[in-house]
Amino acid sequence: GESVGLHLPTLSVQEGDNSIINCAYSNSASDYFIWYKQESGKGPQFIIDIRSNMDKRQGQRVTVLLNKTVKHLSLQIAATQPGDSAVYFCAENMSGGTSYGKLTFGQGTILTVHP
Amino acid sequence: KAGVTQTPRYLIKTRGQQVTLSCSPISGHRSVSWYQQTPGQGLQFLFEYFSETQRNKGNFPGRFSGRQFSNSRSEMNVSTLELGDSALYLCASSLFRTDTQYFGPGTRLTVL
């Protein structure tokens, strides 16, 4: 039969623009969230993480915002560059019990940066 | 510090065969998790090992198994391969179970 793949959201931006990638997470008990970047042919690369006792965390050119009320996570990339083109995944984890070491991933968002 | 390494990088097998994939974590990392990535299902958790013991397991059939050695290196095995097992298999390591997971490049398995 015909295979059906995930239809990933896409975001196209111009070089130098700011990008915002959104993610809705599923488990209200999750307390650790991570953003990964995956380029073609490579494994996911860690970008930034945030724990549930924070609502904002900044890194180099990236900011993660966490809204626990609506279970929403966003990744902001400042001055987006062509090298930022990739698939971006959010992942969640619930510490404790049987959830240690298990990340639950979102479907991913394809970011394309045009020069 | 060297990252997570996975071998082999590419593998082609036929239905019914079995396969073993290897993962060497970042030096000093003690927890290793395995994930399957497919276009249809995305990234899905397979299992996690810490101190040579499987601590957590995803919703995969018993054909998928793994182990961890005393040096934290890990292997996963898939027996009686099916076409649907074609995927990118990713290994991730972390210092301890609650820490950030860092991924290897993956092993691309194709089942014919």
Alpha-carbon distance values, A79 to A18, A19, A35, A65, A86 (Å)? 5, 8, 18, 17, 15
Name chain A contacts of B97, Cβ cutoff 8 Å.
100-101
Nearest chain A residue to B89 by CA: give it: A43
Count interface pairs A-B at CB distance under 8 A: 70
Give the pLDDT of residue A5: 60
Q: pLDDT class for A4, splitting at 50, 70, 90?
A: low
The rounded mean pLDDT for chain A is 91
Nearest chain B residue to A43 by CA: give it: B105
Count the residues in chain B: 112
Asked if pLDDT for residue B55 goes beyond 60, the answer is yes
Q: Which two tokens stand for residue B74?
A: 């890990």
State whether residue B30 sits within 8 Å of chain A by CB. Answer: no
Span B9-24, average pLDDT: 98
Share of chain B above pLDDT 90, in %: 93
Kindly state the helix (H) or strand (E) to which residue A37 belongs, with its residue range: strand A32-38
Asked if pLDDT for residue A98 goes beyond 70, the answer is no
- The label of the residue with tokens 């097998």 reads B13
Q: pLDDT class for A6, splitting at 50, 70, 90?
A: low
Span B47-68, average pLDDT: 95
Give the pLDDT of residue A3: 43
State whether residue B62 sits within 8 Å of chain A by CB. Answer: no
Q: pLDDT class for B98, splitting at 50, 70, 90?
A: confident
Asked if pLDDT for residue A1 goes beyond 70, the answer is no
Give the pLDDT of residue B73: 98
Name chain B contacts of A100, Cβ cutoff 8 Å.
48, 50, 55-56, 97-98
Backbone phi, then psi, for A99, in 5-degree steps?
Answer: -100, -10
Q: What is the pLDDT of residues A31-71, one digit of tens each?
A: 999 999 999 999 999 999 999 999 999 999 999 999 999 99
B40 contacts A5? CB cut-off 8 A = yes
CA distance B95 to A57: 22
Q: pLDDT class for B53, splitting at 50, 70, 90?
A: very high
Q: Quick one: which of A86, A82, A89, A87 has its CA closest to A23? A: A89
Give the pLDDT of residue B99: 83
Instruction: Give the largest Cα separation in chain A, rounded.
Output: 47
| Residues A60, A43 contacting (CB under 8 angstroms) | no
A6 contacts B101? CB cut-off 8 A = no
Q: What is the pLDDT of residues B23-47, one digit of tens each?
A: 999 999 999 999 999 998 999 999 9
What residues have CB less than 8 Å from B52, skipping those under 6 apart?
B67, B68, B69, B70
| Residues A56, A44 contacting (CB under 8 angstroms) | no
The rounded mean pLDDT for chain B is 95
A100 contacts B55? CB cut-off 8 A = yes
Taking the mean position of all CA atoms in its chain, how far away is CA A46? 10
